[in-house]
Chains A and B, each alone.
Chain A
């Protein structure tokens, strides 16, 4: 199977990328390489497979057969061990100019295996403005064999000077049928579960797969979607908010605790802790404390991001719920994301007005904005829950 086989419902983008890969192969062979370019921006809604598309394209560039999917190069790109692919995944809240400068330096080298040097920057929208400007220099005057692959939700997330120097590949939200098809053929998910997961994830393939395969993820979604009908008193709102925030904190803890410990121990060892032998310093050598502090800051930023992402996922599930309510209220003939909760959706649609529903949606969106602006999550979610209970008060 070609490396592009993983991209679901993205026929147009795949055609563009395959053509570029062919041109790139021509350039490697000494031709003019018309149709290939040095900077690409992959955009599309969350879950449409931006980084997968970028990875597939990277494999196609490095593979002698333009992405056969079974040679060494394709495999190495797939598992992330190819020496010519620098893979950047910002883990913290933002990506700094300093990090970007290091990245530019790495990207400036000649390819070790003779085809292309590729920098794959996932979530390039996390780059700060200063970082984006540092990146701009590299994208403006690239070395002949370096290719930048940036991923961002929308072209507008990148500063205009970068945008104008990249070729944009737009990925679309895959249709429910396409997602169902993938889940059934690739993960052997039973048809009804696949349909449920594809609808609930609204085109986010990764989320659909997690929903279909992981009982815990499904349970979490049930929890979140049970919130709207549980908000009868103000006490319930506070409790629901508390639960949401706690769950996201637990998520962050689960994802980071073990990792943090390993990283800290490794860094301490690097700075000489536990070294034995005559004349050796037993404690940290000079600079160790500073490095540890830097690591701690990074770890904290990463935990905050995981917490926010987890909370955001829950809020998006809620938005989808109210969107369904609105669809029913307006009698729109669209597929409901929460088909499994049609009864609840219809009840709420009857008992409230479209104005209420829109206000509730606004409250959720306001909460998302506040979370991004660093507002205390508990306060933001509490305010949202209270607004969901009685939307007229906002």
Chain B
């Protein structure tokens, strides 16, 4: 829900812990006020430093009847007495002042949230996108803000290349909209400015390695190491991949569906994938690969000098242990 641009409420509470979205919500209200009155004064305060009476002072009518905007960030750190003052103010707001409170949600400073809600403040909730799909939606909406559209594949490529930080994504979208022409932003346009991967999970590497796609696995591994994924996480993902192979491969043949899922302790969709990966793997291969992973874990924990080498070696042994039979 976005605030009403033309006529901002006298008191707005922005709830959410994604700094970028909070900034944007606050910024939109501020610019709405500035739209009607370019001279409006903005007071940007931080919760922990607001003193008693400060709000009253800032909100009291000035000699020249200017409008003013008071923004209080990190409102969870406000003192008890200040909260009481704000709640009281919310019930009877000043005409010329727009108050914006930013609260990250959570229990701290709950009295403020409940108090101003009851007193009639406008509440804006900004939700942090957590799923990949939501991030793609964010990219699309972002591009649309600039009056453009983006192809789904291009959005995915951008997400892969930039990572999941919203501020960076928004900046990348703005830059793309500025740099490219035409209505639609396509994959080629994204590829011209962005390449590579910002985020690689150990699981992706593990899947590629056990499927025997050595080249791709090594490429992803280097990306992961270069972008600072902890080697320990990669090792444990590799071990996890092999463990699944051993579990599903070693399960009694007559188990199916839910029974099998219960036996190996994995969800059915994962079992299906592991079953596909199992082709080409025998017990010897799994044993050899697991030894390599164990020694890689030892290496990255300090027994070796170069974690990146230890990981590459492990990935190579894993891919080579798959005989392809």
In the bound complex, what is the Cα–Cα distance between A239 and B246 (angstroms)? 9
Give the residue of A234, A236, A237, A370 whose beta carbon is less than 8 angstroms from that of B294. A370
Contact A394 B291 (CB under 8 A): yes
Contact A374 B301 (CB under 8 A): yes
Contact A234 B301 (CB under 8 A): no
Chain B residue with minimal CB distance to A366? B294
Contact B301 A393 (CB under 8 A): no
Question: Residue A130 at the B interface, CB < 8 A?
Answer: no
Which A residues are in CB contact (< 8 Å) with B298? 370, 373, 375
Which of chain A's residues 219-263 have a Cβ closer than 8 Å to chain B?
233-239
Give the residue of A235, A237, A373, A383 whose beta carbon is less than 8 angstroms from that of B303. A373
Which of chain A's residues 355-394 have a Cβ closer than 8 Å to chain B?
370, 373-376, 378-380, 382-383, 386-387, 389-390, 393-394
Query: Scoring B residues 275 to 290 as 1 if CB is less than 8 Å from chain A, else 0, what string do you get?
Result: 0000000011011101
Question: Residue B293 at the A interface, CB < 8 A?
Answer: yes
Q: Choose, from B46-54, B123-131, B235-243, the stretch at the interface.
A: B235-243
In the bound complex, what is the Cα–Cα distance between A390 and B301 (angstroms)? 26
In the bound complex, what is the Cα–Cα distance between A386 and B247 (angstroms)? 13
In the bound complex, what is the Cα–Cα distance between A233 and B297 (angstroms)? 24
Contact B239 A375 (CB under 8 A): no
- Give chain B nearest CB distance to A384 CB in angstroms: 8
Give the residue of A370, A376, A386 whose beta carbon is less than 8 angstroms from that of B235. A376
Give the interface centre of A233, A378, A382, A390 by most chain B CB atoms within 10 Å. A382
Give the residue of B232, B250, B291, B301 whose beta carbon is less than 8 angstroms from that of A233. B250
Which B residues are in CB contact (< 8 Å) with A386? 286-287, 290-291
In the bound complex, what is the Cα–Cα distance between A373 and B296 (angstroms)? 12
Question: Residue B3 at the A interface, CB < 8 A?
Answer: no
In the bound complex, what is the Cα–Cα distance between A373 and B236 (angstroms)? 16
Contact A379 B236 (CB under 8 A): yes
Which of chain B's residues 217-265 have a Cβ closer than 8 Å to chain A?
232, 235-236, 239, 243, 246-251, 264
Which B residues are in CB contact (< 8 Å) with A378? 239
Contact B293 A236 (CB under 8 A): no
Contact A233 B293 (CB under 8 A): no
Number of interface residues of A (CB under 8 A): 23
Question: Residue B182 at the A interface, CB < 8 A?
Answer: no
Contact A375 B283 (CB under 8 A): no
Give the interface centre of B232, B283, B287, B301 by most chain A CB atoms within 10 Å. B287
Give the interface centre of A236, A375, A389 by most chain B CB atoms within 10 Å. A375
Instruction: Indicate whether A383 sits within 8 Å of B291 (C-beta atoms), given known contacts A370-B298, A390-B283.
Output: yes
Which B residues are in CB contact (< 8 Å) with A233? 249-250, 283
In the bound complex, what is the Cα–Cα distance between A386 and B289 (angstroms)? 10
Which B residues are in CB contact (< 8 Å) with A389? 283, 287
Contact B291 A379 (CB under 8 A): no
Contact B239 A234 (CB under 8 A): no
Chain A residue with minimal CB distance to B294? A383
Contact A236 B250 (CB under 8 A): yes
Contact B246 A379 (CB under 8 A): no
Instruction: Indicate whether A238 sits within 8 Å of B236 (C-beta atoms), given known contacts A393-B287, A393-B291.
Output: no
In the bound complex, what is the Cα–Cα distance between A373 and B303 (angstroms)? 8
- Give chain B nearest CB distance to A11 CB in angstroms: 43
In the bound complex, what is the Cα–Cα distance between A268 and B4 (angstroms)? 48
Instruction: Indicate whether A234 sits within 8 Å of B287 (C-beta atoms), given known contacts A373-B302, A375-B298.
Output: yes
Which A residues are in CB contact (< 8 Å) with B250? 233-239
In the bound complex, what is the Cα–Cα distance between A234 and B284 (angstroms)? 9
Contact B239 A376 (CB under 8 A): yes
Which A residues are in CB contact (< 8 Å) with B232? 376
- Give chain A nearest CB distance to B299 CB in angstroms: 10
In the bound complex, what is the Cα–Cα distance between A390 and B295 (angstroms)? 17
Contact A380 B294 (CB under 8 A): yes
Which A residues are in CB contact (< 8 Å) with B236? 376, 379
Instruction: Indicate whether A379 sits within 8 Å of B297 (C-beta atoms), given known contacts A238-B243, A374-B302, A386-B290.
Output: yes
Give the interface centre of B243, B293, B301 by most chain A CB atoms within 10 Å. B243
Contact A382 B251 (CB under 8 A): no
In the bound complex, what is the Cα–Cα distance between A352 and B298 (angstroms)? 29
Query: Scoring B residues 7 to 40 as 1 if CB is less than 8 Å from chain A, else 0, what string do you get?
Result: 0000000000000000000000000000000000
Chain A residue with minimal CB distance to B291? A383
In the bound complex, what is the Cα–Cα distance between A233 and B281 (angstroms)? 13
Pull 21 A–B residue pairs with CB atoms less than 8 Å apart, ordered by A.
A233-B249, A234-B287, A235-B247, A235-B248, A235-B249, A235-B250, A237-B246, A238-B246, A238-B250, A239-B247, A374-B302, A375-B294, A375-B297, A376-B235, A376-B236, A379-B235, A379-B290, A380-B297, A383-B290, A383-B295, A389-B283
Which 3 pairs across A and B sit closest by C-beta, in order of nearness?
A235-B250, A383-B294, A386-B287
